[in-house]
């Protein structure tokens, strides 16, 4: 079950039209600059530092964030990544979603010793349990239990990891 908080749109246009009423423009500009730099940094320690202290992500020890990994620009502080986790090339972690009639936010919690494959997308409001593996290109739309392999669009558990 995704944990999402819903906000009604303040006017007649779609919710994305009002993005500045949900989050401060200067916060988003700062996040965009730090995340854009971080996406290309090859130095894992510096990248972790930048995302922890620059944009407020909660990142554990020895986390490896792959090249071009894209955290949410509006609410990166809602992302928590456990120790010794690997997030692959060009993976995306979202903590918000715009719908026509509303705007939603939700925290993303990724456990310890998790592997997220290249080009995977993690949607707002989900948890990925300790020791789970997410296949390349998967779209995680619901919670993934600990110690399993999940693949596909949407991601489905295919086996327990021994």
Residue 134: CATH number of its domain: 2.160.10.10
Residues 56-84 have pLDDT tens digits of 999 999 999 999 999 999 999 999 999 99
Q: Tell me the pLDDT of the chain averaged across its residues.
A: 96
- Least Cα distance to 35 among 2, 83, 66, 76 occurs for 76
Residues 96-144 have pLDDT tens digits of 999 999 999 999 999 999 999 999 999 999 999 999 999 999 999 999 9
Give the pair of three-digit tokens for residue 128. Answer: 């990925």
Catalytic annotation on 96? Answer: yes
Q: Domain range spanning residue 13?
A: 5-160
* pLDDT value for 75: 97
How many alpha carbons lie under 13 Å from residue 144 in its C-beta half-sphere?
36
Give the pair of three-digit tokens for residue 10. Answer: 């303040």
**pTM, 2 dp:** 0.94
For residue 42, what is the DSSP state?
-
Choose the catalytic residue: 47, 48, 96, 112: 96
* pLDDT value for 61: 97
* pLDDT value for 118: 97
- 1 has a pLDDT exceeding 90: no
Into how many domains does the chain fold?
A: 1
For residue 44, what is the DSSP state?
H
Give the pair of three-digit tokens for residue 75. Answer: 């609410």
């Amino acid at each position: 079950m995704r944990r999402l908080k819903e906000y009604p749109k303040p006017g007649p246009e779609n919710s994305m039209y009002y993005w500045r009423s949900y989050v401060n423009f200067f916060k988003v500009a700062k996040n965009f600059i730090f995340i854009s730099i971080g996406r290309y940094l090859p130095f894992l320690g510096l990248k972790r530092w930048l995302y922890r202290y620059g944009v407020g992500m909660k990142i554990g020890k020895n986390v490896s964030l792959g090249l071009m990994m894209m955290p949410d620009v509006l609410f990166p502080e809602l992302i928590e990544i456990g120790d010794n986790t690997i997030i692959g090339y060009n993976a995306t972690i979202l903590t918000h979603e715009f719908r026509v009639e509303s705007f939603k936010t939700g925290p993303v919690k990724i456990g310890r010793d998790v592997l997220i494959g290249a080009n995977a997308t993690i949607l707002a409001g989900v948890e990925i349990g300790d020791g789970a593996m997410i296949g390349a290109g998967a779209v995680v739309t619901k919670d993934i239990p600990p110690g399993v392999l999940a693949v596909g669009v949407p991601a489905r558990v295919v086996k327990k990891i021994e």
